[in-house]
Amino acid sequence: MKSLFYSLVFLLFIINLNAQPDLICSYLYNNQKSMYRGDYFTLQFKIKNNGTSNAAKTHSSIYLVDSISNSAFYLSDISTEAINSGDSSYLYSFIYPLPYSLSDGTKYIKLVANADSEITESNTANNISYCANKISIIPSYYINKQNLPYPVILMHGWCGKDTSWYSFLRDIENYYGYSYGGNLDFCLNQDGDFTKANLTTDIKDWTNINQLYSGDFYTINFDIDSSGTKYAKSNYSNQSAAIKQGIAMKKAIQHVLEVTGKDKVILVAHSMGGLASREYLQNLTQSDGRHHVAKLFTPLETAD
């Protein structure tokens, strides 16, 4: 009897030793037929564990591919829950603005379960799934889309200019699908008088409102001379006092609210841009007595 007991224990040990999870995508759904870059791509999916042991938390990767076999364009990883043997996950809803670096043409939707091989599976050949629906990316490089709840205004620092943010802007367009709505130009020493500050003659709005579009991010540029020429540095406009920068910011916010139809903006500022933002928030408002700023972000240490 004891021998039979030990045999059963050993058998269970062997079975348990060989037990492994097996993750598959059991549901993958998208119904979008054609899209522009910047549009919200949506996907719903479920992961099922067909294995003989429980699966720990993993990640699933989502791609758009030109064909079943090549040119995979990576979108994002999704953290997926631990799943008991024989069970399915809840329904995941994935929403992502299409990056502007995505090429034109027909795209297949590819999902890879356990993408980083975080767990050992009994079968990895079934980790990859394709959606039945295909998406046509319309051949137009740039169509402005407003994806964020509030538009973001990027403020440069002391001696800076709008180009300080260009590398960041390229990244969020190419990898995250957010759009650039344009630049707002202001000269803060329009009268050329360096001996005193006259707020009625010092500040001129050189913004070309015909080149502002409804988008996610905007830049401000104070490096403007009295003729409206950018980056001339002849009048030290971008080194002007925070009080003048705050007045210009008031006008910039007004432009962005008008072009986007939103009620608030988000300010992201570094260096002197933080002082300009504080000047506006503490001492200025729009015509209705409100500042219309949802959030202000100021990094601790940055450089122009």
Using one digit for the tens of pLDDT, what is the confidence trace for 262-284? 999 999 998 888 889 999 999 99
On the question of pLDDT at 2 being above 60, the answer is: no
Q: Are 29 and 43 in contact (CB under 8 A)?
A: yes
pLDDT, averaged across the chain? 88
Residue 299 has pLDDT above 70, yes or no: yes
Instruction: Specify the CATH number for 152-297; select among 3.40.50, 1.10.287, 3.30.70, 2.60.40.
Output: 3.40.50
**Amino acid 196: pLDDT:** 66
Question: Does residue 37 surpass a pLDDT of 70?
Answer: yes
Average pLDDT over residues 113-121: 95
Q: Where are the alpha helices (DSSP H) in the chain?
A: 2-18, 166-176, 199-202, 242-260, 272-283
* Average pLDDT rounded to a whole number, residues 46-52: 96
Per-residue b or e along 231-261, where b marks 16 or more CB atoms closer than 10 Å to that residue's CB: eeeebebbebbbbbbbbbbbbbbbbbbebbe
Q: How confident is the model over 162-190, as pLDDT tens digits?
A: 998 999 999 999 888 999 999 999 988 88
Average pLDDT of 90-103? 93
pLDDT of residue 3: 60
DSSP state of 82: -
258 band by pLDDT with thresholds 50, 70 and 90: very high
Q: Is 69 left (phi over 0), alpha (psi -120 to 50) or beta?
A: alpha
Of all residues in the chain, the percent with pLDDT exceeding 90 is 65
Q: How far is CA 108 from CA 34, 50, 82, 129, in A?
A: 12, 25, 27, 10
Q: 175 or 82: which carries more pLDDT confidence?
A: 82
Residue 146 and residue 151: Cα distance in Å, rounded? Answer: 8
Identify which has the larger pLDDT, 290 or 17: 290
With a cut of 80, say whether residue 193 has pLDDT above it.
Answer: no
In this prediction, what percent of the chain has a pLDDT beyond 70?
89
pLDDT tens-digit readout, 11-29 = 444 445 468 999 999 999 9
pLDDT of residue 236: 77
| Residue 132 or residue 13, greater confidence | 132
Asked whether the CA dihedral 10, 83, 126, 60 is positive or negative, the reply is: negative
pLDDT at residue 14, rounded to an integer:
47
Q: Which fold has domain 20-137?
A: Immunoglobulin-like (2.60.40)
pLDDT of residue 158: 84
The reported pLDDT for the residue numbered 4 is 53
Domain definitions of the chain by residue range: 20-137, 152-297
pLDDT average, residue stretch 67-83: 88
